[in-house]
Amino acid sequence: MSRNPRNQIYPATEDLPPGRGGGALVRLWRARSELLLLGGLGVLALTFLSAVANGHWTPFVVLSSAVSAPAVTKLGRNWLVAHFWCVVSRHRLQRVCLETTMHTRAGRIPLVLWITPTVTGEKALIMVRAGISAEEFEAYREEIAAACWARTANVYRHRDRAQFLIVEIVRRDEVPGTFSPGLERLYGNRSWVALRSELEEPPDLRTGVLLPRLAA
């Protein structure tokens, strides 16, 4: 049976193993962004209470100014919005893995190691578990796009290490001259292979191309 988004990878006579949320450390890792935000708000609240009690407002003013400074500029607001969508997409990717067959028989889902904003959406670096491959993510490409509230999704596999893949979440068209707000360039371009031929980069026309010589 060929692989497609509607086919199950398990036998028809076998029930789909339910996905599980993972242990305490896994849950903490998945909620790291929210925990850091709560920690920052906690520090800000403690600084405010200390200023009220002791009358020393300088630390609170400096800290609150540093926190609110990004919201003043357009670049800062765009950065905040882009990273907000990174958090949303990470949780939605984890949810779609739980709701589909992109988890192991033990219920473990792939690890979202890193996610960064791009000019068109987000890119997530994922390490799959044993029994899962990049081709399965490609099969569930439409489900991923729908779960992330995006236009479409593209999947790229690492050339040398098949356990690593990139899921590109596309939300909008690329505007020429737009600067990427994330660390997309750290992923590199030549290390990844598109699973669809239409996503492959065209050849570099600046280099010579050897053509076969026809016999006279």
pLDDT digits (tens, 9 = 90+) for 2-57: 444 444 555 544 555 565 656 677 677 767 767 777 777 777 677 767 776 777 77
| Domains assigned to the chain | 23-72 (no CATH), 74-197 (3.30.980.40)
pLDDT at position 12: 46
> What number of residues does the chain have?
216
Please determine, for residue 153, whether its predicted confidence score (pLDDT) is greater than 70. Answer: yes
Per mean pLDDT, which range of 64-73, 74-83, 103-112, 201-210 is the poorest?
201-210
Distance CA 175, CA 119 (A): 8
Q: What are phi and psi of 167, to 5 degrees?
A: -105, 115
CA triple 122-123-128, angle to 5 deg: 140
The kind and range of the H/E element at 58 are helix 58-68
Q: What are phi and psi of 28, to 5 degrees?
A: -65, -40
For the chain, percent of residues with pLDDT exceeding 90: 24
Cα atoms found within 13 Å of the Cα of residue 92, Cβ hemisphere only: 21
For the chain, percent of residues with pLDDT exceeding 70: 65
Burial 123-155 (b: 16+ CB within 10 A, else e): bbbbebeeebbbebbbbbbebbbebbebebbbb
In this structure, what DSSP letter does residue 99 have? H
Tell me if 141 sits within 8 A of 93, measured CB to CB. no
Tell me if 97 sits within 8 A of 109, measured CB to CB. yes
> When comparing pLDDT for 157 and 72, which is higher?
157
Tell me if 59 sits within 8 A of 47, measured CB to CB. yes
